[in-house]
Amino acid sequence: MPEQLTIEPKTSLRSGPDARGHFGPFGGRYVAETLMPLILELEAAYRAAQADPAFRAELDWLLKHYVGRPSPMYFAEKLSTYLGGAKIYLKRDELNHTGAHKINNCIGQILLAKRMGKTRIIAETGAGQHGVATATVAARFGLPCTIFMGARDVERQSPNVFRMKLLGAEIVPVTSGSQTLKDAMNEALRDWVTNVHDTFYIIGTAAGPHPYPELVRDFQSVIGTEAREQLLELEGRLPDVAVAAVGGGSNAIGLFHPFLDDPVELVGIEAAGHGIDSGEHAASLTGGKPGVLHGNKTFLLQDEDGQITDAHSISAGLDYPGIGPEHAWLHSIGRVRYESITDREALEAFKMLCREEGIIPALEPAHALAYVAKRAPQMGKDEILLMNLCGRGDKDIFTVADALGVKL
Amino acid sequence: MSDRLSRRFAALDGRAGLVTFVCGGDPSPELTAPILHALVAGGADIIEVGMPFTDPMADGPAIQAGNIRALGAGISLKKLLAIVTDFRTRDADTPLILMGYVNPILAYGPDRFASDARAAGLDGVILVDLPPEEADEMLPALNGSGLHLVRLATPTTDAARLPAVLEGASGFLYYVAVAGITGANSAQASDIAAAVARLKASTALPVAVGFGVKTPAQAAAIARHADAVVVGSAIVDLVGSAHARQSNDIPGEVEAFVSTLSAAVRSARLETAA
């Protein structure tokens, strides 16, 4: 979110979406009529909040004293030497309260919920990081909270399920469909449409009906805004390349957005699961096509009849058949390049960061890290490669142990 | 437009109409046309046939299950249009509306869908996740082929928003009586009467009321105030349970249940008068 209103030049790539919530042909508000008035009310409340210095001040105070921002910008010297190329910088958003970038957005949205007089919070979660962050802010603001989570994810992310319960949230395992993130989102939307009068839906990624992709991006842009300032201070210049993992795409758009008008190469990393050719992946830009799901038009994994197909990734947080609409647009105009990394490559990168830097990353940013491992050696020693380390890996140790054949 | 819908509403002659919903392809594509005929035989005035979708976000458990059965049995939009063509060989008059989500139609292609749907004998579509704000891409193709885009109004549609909903609406207006998913709670008859009066003050279109209507008594209560009553989940539930116990006459069971609904709807206003 900009510190103050600035007049963007017409050629800026940072001025979207348009008044109807479209990024080029993507985005929009594809929701049931029952929800339309709510969506419009949310947009009006967000515009009012943006114009209110008190909102910004409260958000900034909470980000500093509750979340622990700014997160450090860490020069990973040992990893850089190991890979033998670019200077690698890690934006340490895994050091935030709750261990991931998700809380940046949850703080912003719960302040909006409070402004709108809503008294109940719901959210969907995949890996459980957004669920934990939502349960956290709900506890902090004293609002009851229900988290929808695919039954399969409840099983593979049991530490986060327990965390959410400790924080006072009610967990609803969702047994429909593939029992993962998309089904959790369906169920959250069903709850919302049933309880529109008192309920605020905190969407965790930069997707869903307008204005969610915009406001999630704005709340997450603190990542890129800080990174830009920190690198200018540390290195006196911007990075050559910035990399982030993409599921729905909230950490990536948060990192990328402040750099969109700069001469910085931006690379988003999708989850290739068992490989794009296997059909078992979560790379909606690489392996999907445009369609409508969960309130927005974007790239989706779907069959020729327009039925949504199951995503696959070892990372529950990337296991989603769509992607935020701004990413779909940035892909279509070629401003951001999207590549994909397999489960196996992500696991290797996970182990590499543990070994080389003493940092256990989440499986989501391990995908970005695997790209860094490929790319850094091709770059010069005076070039800067920035990666968003958007979550820590404590939650993933059971999954990783399982994948490595270790019994805990 | 050669308009089965307006002819059908005109022919109701002072009574309310019964609109029935089933999922296309549920429990199998082969049984769908017989079930559609059974709805008519039971007294349905208008049929909504659901185009199943993997992610039916506005639907409750009954219709979710119907979608899963139908997709599992291999339904596709192309097959559903073939079923409509087949239905039309024996029924030229009952209005048939396709109800569903926008993505399968986008994948088929709006223009190709509109012309194929018209050729098959559909009269209109209801797209749950296509509010007026996003209708540009669909409305010209549909209207160009003479298909209605039936709009939805809900308890949250306030006076400021209603004109946007009615802009470009045709066929009838579908009033979703409760804020929620299909097959959930039912609304109070008094609330429905007030809502229908409010809508009819703004539009000349017939107003059909649905969501949460499961029994003949509930249908009759709404029929006293609305131009038509929509029953969906209760019929889909019946199809599901008949299929589960391997009934060899699912269409017969559907016809028997719909007869109880249509009898209640047809006599609703007579009872009020008496």
Instruction: Calculate mean pLDDT across residues A189-214.
Output: 96
Instruction: Return the higher-pLDDT residue of B97 and B212.
Output: B97
Instruction: Return the higher-pLDDT residue of B187 and A202.
Output: A202
Instruction: Calculate mean pLDDT across residues A275-303.
Output: 96
Question: What separation in angstroms does the CA of A127 have from each of A2, A102, A281?
Answer: 30, 11, 16
pLDDT category, A95, cuts 50, 70, 90? very high
Residue pLDDT, tens place only, B214-256: 999 999 999 999 999 999 999 999 999 999 999 999 999 999 9
Report the residue of chain A nearest B74, measured CA to CA. A305
Say yes or no to pLDDT of A10 above 80: no
pLDDT category, B273, cuts 50, 70, 90? low
Say yes or no to pLDDT of A176 above 90: no
Neighbours of B245 (CB within 10 A): 6
In a domain, B11, yes or no: no
- DSSP letters spanning A252-299: HHHHHGGGTTSS-EEEEEEEEET-GGGT----HHHH-EEEEETEEEEE
CB proximity A24 to B under 8 Å? no
Instruction: Calculate mean pLDDT across residues B37-63.
Output: 97
B256: CATH: 3.20.20.70
- The 3-state DSSP class for residue A362 equals coil
Say yes or no to pLDDT of B116 above 60: yes
pLDDT at position A7: 54
Residues of B at the A interface, defined by Cβ within 8 angstroms: 53-60, 64, 71, 76-78, 101-108, 128-131, 133-134, 151-158, 161, 165, 176, 179-181, 184
Neighbours of B140 (CB within 10 A): 14
**Between the CA atoms of B252, B258, B263 and B267, what dihedral angle is there, to the nearest 10 degrees?**
-170
Tokens linked to B44: 């349905």
Residue pLDDT, tens place only, A329-375: 999 999 999 999 999 999 999 999 999 999 999 999 999 999 999 99
In a domain, B1, yes or no: no
Interface contact flag, B54 A38, Cβ < 8 Å: no
List the Cα angle A120/A124/A130 in 5-degree steps: 95
Taking each continuous run of H as one helix and of E as one strand, the counts in chain A are 16, 14
Say yes or no to pLDDT of B169 above 60: yes
- The 3-state DSSP class for residue B127 equals strand
Q: What percent of chain A has pLDDT over 90?
A: 90
Q: What percent of chain A has pLDDT over 70?
A: 98
Spell out the residues 6+ positions from residue A229 whose beta carbon is closer than 8 angstroms to its own.
none
Q: Point out the residue among B71, B130, B155 whose CB comes nearest to the CB of A307.
A: B71
pLDDT at position A179: 87
Mutate to test the interface with B, among A35, A182, A190 (most CBs of B within 10 A): A190
Tally C-beta pairs within 8 A across A and B: 115
> In total, how many domains does chain B have?
1
B44 min Cα distance to partner chain A (Å):
26
How high does pLDDT run on average in chain B?
95
H or E segment to which residue A37 belongs? helix A36-50
How high does pLDDT run on average in chain A?
95
Cα B213 to Cα B229: distance, rounded to the nearest angstrom: 8
Cα A179 to Cα A161: distance, rounded to the nearest angstrom: 15
Write out chain B residues lying below 8 Å of A181, CB-based: none
In a domain, B2, yes or no: no
Cα B154 to Cα B179: distance, rounded to the nearest angstrom: 7
Indicate the angle between helix axes A102-115 and A212-220, nearest 10 degrees.
120
In a domain, B7, yes or no: no
pTM above 0.90, yes or no: yes
ipTM rounded to 2 decimals: 0.95
In a domain, B100, yes or no: yes
Residue pLDDT, tens place only, B75-95: 999 999 999 999 999 999 999
Residue pLDDT, tens place only, A29-50: 999 999 999 999 999 999 999 9
pLDDT category, B272, cuts 50, 70, 90? low
In a domain, B144, yes or no: yes
pLDDT at position A6: 55
Instruction: Calculate mean pLDDT across residues B155-175.
Output: 94
Say yes or no to pLDDT of B2 above 60: no
Mutate to test the interface with B, among A192, A307, A320 (most CBs of B within 10 A): A307
Interface contact flag, B107 A304, Cβ < 8 Å: yes
Nearest to B176 by CA among B184, B168, A368: B184
- Which residue range(s) make up the domain with B228? 17-273
In a domain, B205, yes or no: yes
Question: What separation in angstroms does the CA of A362 have from each of A56, A113, A300, A314, B150?
Answer: 30, 29, 24, 11, 47
pLDDT at position A2: 46
Write out chain A residues lying below 8 Å of B55, CB-based: 177, 182-183, 186, 293-294, 308
Interface contact flag, B53 A36, Cβ < 8 Å: no
In a domain, B141, yes or no: yes
Instruction: Calculate mean pLDDT across residues A187-195.
Output: 95
pLDDT at position B270: 83
Instruction: Calculate mean pLDDT across residues A107-125.
Output: 97
